[in-house]
A = this chain, B = another copy of it.
Amino acid sequence: MAIDRASLIPVLKNIATDLRIDSVRSTSEAGSGHPTSCCSAAEIMAALFFAEMRFDPKHPQNPDADRFVLSKGHAAPVLYAAWAEAGAFDRAELSKLRRIDSDLEGHPTPRLPFVDVATGSLGQGICAAIGTALNARRIASDYRTYVLLGDGESAEGSVWEAANAGTLHKLDNLCGITDVNGFGQSRPSMWDHDMEQYARRWRAFGWHAIVIDGHDMAAVLDALDEARRTKGQPTMILARTVKGKGLSIAEGKDGWHGKALKKGEELDRALAELDKQYVQVPDETIAKNRTSLIKKPSSGSHAPAPPKPIAPPSYKLGDQIATREAYGEAITKLGEADARVVALDADVKNSTFSDKFEKKFPDRFYQNFIAEQVMVGAAMGLAARGAIPFPSTFACFLSRAADFIRMAAISQVGVKLAGSHAGISIGEDGPSQMALEDLAMCTAQPNFAVLYPCDAVSTERLIALMAARPGPAYMRTSRPKTPVIYANDETFTIGGLKVVRESGDDVATVIGAGVTVFEALKAYDELKKNGVAIRVIDLYSVAPVDRDALVAAARATGGHLITVEDHYAAGGLGDAVAAAVADAGFTVHRLAVREIPRSGKPDELLERFGISAAHIVSAVRALAGKPVAAR
């Protein structure tokens, strides 16, 4: 509804007071939380929700609704208060804040329908906001993305990766607001209230920056208006605020971060103070029907074309193709079949072969340059809005985004990570380029699918499965060329494995994945010459893992399980298999990289660090002679 400024501002002021009251009350009820970090943002939140953003409180996932990301996730109570005030749920629920029976958690998670990605690890929300802003273009929607940051958070490098990304992509549909309340957790923040420090950094990074008093409602409205009218670049509103604003006990004082007011006198006095901050409202009709102020989303977006069937792989048995190259081919084929598929790069597209996708779908390819955090963070935002994003780089550099991967798991969003150049088999580039802990990083998360194909056909098949499975997933690919060993019509499952060699006489089962499958096959041939048969398993799905098939193989091969992996000993294949078969009483003999490696030729390194065919042969010989339980 149209309403004049003079009538609107007092209503918004009173909403801000309500948000303060709800934030203070709910945190006191919970006995913990961040009321002061909420109070500094109350005017900003009131203006955003009741005068700026276009959304439907009853259907927060409307594809054309403006997005709001609370990058300063610890201010969750004011977010919940705003949504309750907007009518998304009953205000009485706010008193359940932080309780195990409530989804109103200490920091926001997508258990709540109005939260796109979990926040609370600072500096991540703005990266996700890059993703939701990119997504608007993908679906041709005019929705805007708003992201609220804290000043302390601005020290995170990821914020500046996002700053570059916003400028590069000319995201004028993105508006950041930094709540500069001057305090971090343990002390005044890096630049205190020196607004110029913020403004010059954002301007240098190419954003339109506006400095305002964040408690001056008219100034907040003007700034949001200016941001909306700014074209060709994103806007950052730098709002000078007071931490704990409205609470005389805490206002502008250090030592009040993350402290709830004590129930009883302390809380009562604060509530009485806040109560006095209500102002006269000229138009009582509006005041009584505040939700009528909320702007409606438009409905211009195009629903993406429904996915088409994907043509089967068309490789030739025996052809030499690196799985990283098959990855590039696979996401491109997938992209042809499904318009939701997008790819993100960190300036290694010619090594990961994601450049194949770029050539075909330049509009769905996002270059992040060497900035892995915003690459994964943007993918989280894209996934939260219905895209199927494949961010890829060298597997070792995905560790740069480990905290984002952690938050992607918490967010349960469908980011499809791919890491190439895994392990010592990359050779001469040396340890800094070798991922030897990436499986540990991803298998640790309880909801990640972790896939590690050894040939082109399985790579292509698994990429399709990875895209179809809801939730986060990781694929590990290798640098060296490996032969195609599976027929094009071979089927795979997430949680499956392939027995690639077997007989009734197998004395042991050797379990590899990726490049070590071929070491196992070499060992098979070598042992066979000497009349020793082994079973060989390609464990292409490391998480979930096919427990029953592994136990069956153990039972059939004298209980002798040997894992061999181009990964450190902890957190990879060996641990995954051992955990799976433990309840059946089987243990696992592990061949893995057990020290910091070095540069050298791939074959030399496999030999030196204990994961070559020769080491497998020795392990089989040593183990197969032994009784199973050496207790």
Contact = CB atoms under 8 A, between A and B. Distances in A.
A410 B596 contact: yes
B582 A575 contact: no
Interface string A261-285: 0000000000000000000000000
> Oligomeric state, in number of copies?
2
Contacts of A399: 402-403, 406
Contacts of A605: 100
Contact of A598 (B111, B158, B587): B111
A298 interface: no
A80 to B, nearest CB: 12
A14 interface: no
Contacts of A445: 437, 568
Given A160-B160, A589-B582, A596-B410, A369 B100 contact: no
Nearest to A164: B155
Given A369-B155, A428-B106, A631 B559 contact: yes
Interface stretch (A47-55, A134-142, A185-193, A460-468): A185-193
B571 A571 contact: yes
Contacts of A203: 204
Nearest to A257: B350
A189 B367 CA distance: 11
Nearest to A111: B598
Interface residues of A, number: 121
B446 A569 contact: yes
A369 B157 CA distance: 11
Contact of A570 (B102, B406, B443, B559): B443
A407 B428 contact: no
Interface of A: 30-33, 73, 98-100, 102, 105-107, 109, 111, 118-123, 152-153, 155-161, 164, 168, 184-187, 189-190, 200-201, 203-205, 345, 347-351, 355, 367-371, 373-374, 396-397, 399-400, 402-403, 406-407, 409-410, 412, 427-433, 436-437, 440-441, 443-447, 543, 554-555, 559, 568-571, 574-576, 578-579, 581-590, 593-596, 598-601, 604-605, 608, 628-631
5 contacts: A107-B429, A120-B432, A187-B347, A440-B571, A585-B629
Given A441-B444, A447-B596, A570-B576, 9 more contacts: A105-B431, A109-B430, A156-B161, A185-B351, A187-B347, A189-B369, A443-B571, A444-B570, A559-B631
